[in-house]
Structure 1
Amino acid sequence: MRDYFLFKNSLFVKILLIFTLPALGILYFSTLLVYDKINTLSDITNIQKDIRYILYTERLINSLQKERGLAVIYLTSKKDKEKYILQKKKTDSYYKEFLEEIENINKNIKQLTFSVPKIQKIFSNFSFLRQQIDTQQLDAYSVILEYSYINESLLDTIYAIKPINSATKFNTKFSYIVNILLAKESAGVERALTSINIVLKSIPEDNYKKLLHTYSTQKINLKEFLLKADIEEIEFYNKLQNTLYTKKVYEIRNNLKELILNNKLDIQTWWEISTLRIEDLGKLHKFVSSDILKLSQKIQKEATTSQILSLSFLFICFATLISLLFVLKAIVFNQQKNFNKLEKQQNIYKILSRVNKLILKVKNRKKLFIKVLNSIDNIEPDIKLSMIYKVKKTQKRLLIAKGENSLKLEFVEDENTKNCVVKRAIVSGKNIILNSKIEKVCTLTPKFINENHLESVAVFPIKKFDKIVALLVLFSNNKNFFDNEVQILFNKMIIDIEYALEKIDYEKNKAKQEEELRIASYAFESNEPMIITNHEAKIINANQAFCKVMGYEKNEIKGNNPKIFKSEEHSDEFYHNMWNSILTKGTWSGEVYNKKKNGENIILKATITAIKDKQGNIKHYLSQYNDISEQKLKQQYLEYQATHDSLTALPNRLLLFDRIKHSINKITRHKTYGGIIFIDLDNFKTINDTMGHETGDILLKEVSKKLQETVRKEDTIARIGGDEFIVLADFIGTDKASARNNMQILASKIKGALNNIHTINGYANISTPSIGITLFNNDSFNENELIKQADTAMYLAKRAGKNTIKFFE
Structure 2
Amino acid sequence: MINKILNYFLLKNTLFLKIILVFTLPALGMLYFSTVLVYEKVQTLNEVKNVQKNIDYTLISQKLIHSLQLERGMSAIYINSKKNIKQLNQQKAFVNKAYENYLNKTLNLKLNSKTIEKIKDIKLKLYKLEPIRQSVLNVNRNEVGLIFQEYTHIINYLINSLTSIKPVNSATSFNNRFSYLVNLLVLKENMSIQRGIIAMAIASNKIEQKTLNELQKNSVLEQENIKQFLVKASNEEVERLNTLLNLNETKKINEIKNSLLNNKIPTDITVKKWWEIASVKIEALSDIYNFVVLQTSKYSKSLQTEAYMAQIFSLAFLLVSFLTLISLFFVLRSIVSNEQKSFNKIKKQQEVYKLLNKTNKFLIKINDEKELFSEICKLIYENKNMSFGFIYKIKRHNNFKLIAQEGELKDILNEKFRREEKRDNLVKKVLEINNNVIVNDYEEENISLLNDVATTYDIKSAAAFAIKKFKKIDAVLVLYSNEKEFFDEEIEILFGKMINDMSHTLERIEYEKTRKEQEDELRLASYAFESNEPMIITDKDTFIINANNAFCKVMGYSKNDVIGRRPSMFKSKHQDKEFYNKLWYDLTKNGSWSGEIYNTKKDKQKIPLRSTITAIKDNEGLVTHYLGQYIDISEQIDKQKVLEYQATHDNLTGLPNRLLLLDRIEHAITKTIRHDIVGGLIFIDLDNFKQINDTLGHDVGDKLLFAVAQKLKESIRQEDTIARIGGDEFIVLVDCIGSNSDEAKENLSNLAQKIKESLNSIEYIDGHKNISTPSIGVTLFKDSSVTARDIIKQADTAMYAAKKQGKNSVEFFN
Normalising by structure 1, we get a TM-score of 0.34
Larger radius of gyration: 2
Normalising by structure 2, we get a TM-score of 0.34
